[in-house]
Amino acid sequence: MNKFNSRLGFILTAVGSAVGMANVWGFPYKLQEGGLFFLIVYIFFIALFSYVGLTSEFAIGRIAEAGTIGSYEKAFASSGKNPKLGRAISILPLIGLVLLTIGYAVVVAYIFKALFDSVTGSLMTSDVNIWYKNLSERAYSIWPFHLLVIIFTLINCLGSAKTLEKSSKFMMPAFFILFIVIAIKILTLPNAIEGYKYMFRIDNSKINIGNVVSAMGQAFFSLSITGSAMMICGAYLHKGEDIVYSSKMTGLLDTIAALVAAFVMIPSIIVFSMDQAGGPGLLFQVLPTILQNIEGGRLFAIILYLAVLFAGISSLQIMFEVVVESLTYVFKKLDRKVVLFSIASLVFLVGVNMEKISDWGPFMDIISIYIIPIGAMIGAITWFYILDKKTLIDEVNSGASKKYGEAWYKIGKYLYTPLVVVICILTIIM
């Protein structure tokens, strides 16, 4: 099996999987709503989930040297249980990831269209509401960009770990650099400092359980702990690498990505007295309006949407890799490239028929509210209640700079896993 050539390549690939729309349009909205209390709680959960959640998913992937299906089989076999049961249980998280890939590709196609219109200048001269309506309410309005997104993702997956690593080493640094450039521009706007003050305000009315749940859920989704995706990163990791260190670095860089996005979004909204917005409205209505009203807006629109496009394709390529690896793991005679092209075709053909937000929105809601949280809960329970304890701890300690044992395991079993169950239940209820 192909392996990552370096620790940096592994970390940037994992960060590429984690950094996405949750960072760009989810985190800024929730931080704007919850202020400093939200941020403190969010950082606590990012640290916890990185320390045990990401670590356990990386570890089982490296143990099994496989992605979703192989990891669940290995977990069940390690404790003397039927690996076929593990394979059966793995199907739901895997299906959830396939559906997420279809919907996510539509989002990235929207971003590509916004980038294209920024390059041509049409986004800077259009009525934003009409532009967004034409983008989101017409069937097949973005199919050429949708197809290009699939092709670019496909190319990045052709060489498995090697091409994933190479593309991540380019796209993730580019994401950070481009966002920092535009954040510096926003800092120069009149009254931008008021936006930063608002971000870090202490609002006693926001110190409540609702904000805690919001921060916990945001941290969970931001790290892409889905019970299906991150194991593939571990599968391509050498035994001598420190998994816990890499998990912490992934969490740190993911948080920095979210903060940099917030440094762009929130001050802009405050400076131009725009209404709070999250989701597609923030990226495709609020921001274009702001960019139309700042000097050099066209250039900064190009920078912004290019950075987000890099983040989107980085996430998509891991999703593709997970699905392809799982199918070739089960059906070993299948040619990898044939499977990759088949998955790409499926993602495009299904997704191109739901480009309207009235189709895509409900589809993504079902996946994010029900399927993905349930898959993540299945994963957490499997790693800490079914996978053999010694097997897991030994793998975590392979290459570790310090030894982890009973304390780490108890945090995972008695704190992290119950929290994942709570997140799953609350997401469905709320």
79 phi/psi in degrees, rounded to 5: -110, 20
Question: Token digits for 109?
Answer: 């196609």
**pLDDT score for 40:** 96
**pLDDT score for 111:** 94
The whole-angstrom distance between residue 83's C-alpha and the CA centroid of its chain comes to 29
**pLDDT score for 304:** 87
Q: CA-based Rg of the chain, rounded to a whole angstrom?
A: 21
Place of tokens 């593709």: 320
Distance set, CA 195 to CA 256, 274, 292 (Å): 18, 12, 19
- 146-179 confidence digits (pLDDT tens): 999 999 999 888 877 777 888 888 888 988 898 8
Query: What is the C-alpha to C-alpha distance for residues 251 and 253, in angstroms, rounded to an integer?
Result: 6
Q: In order of start, what are the domains of the chain with their CATH numbers? A: 7-429 (1.20.1740.10)
pLDDT band at 283 (very low <50, low <70, confident <90, very high): confident
- 301-328 confidence digits (pLDDT tens): 999 899 889 888 988 999 999 999 999 9
Of 40, 55, 33, the residue nearest 411 (C-alpha):
55
Amino acid at 374: I
Query: What is the C-alpha to C-alpha distance for residues 99 and 368, in angstroms, rounded to an integer?
Result: 10
With a CB cutoff of 8 Å and minimum separation 6, the contacts of 341 are 154
Longest CA–CA separation in the chain, Å:
65
pTM for the structure as a whole: 0.90
- 86-118 confidence digits (pLDDT tens): 999 999 999 999 999 999 999 999 999 999 999
Looking at 28-37, 376-385, 390-399, which range is the least confident one? Answer: 28-37
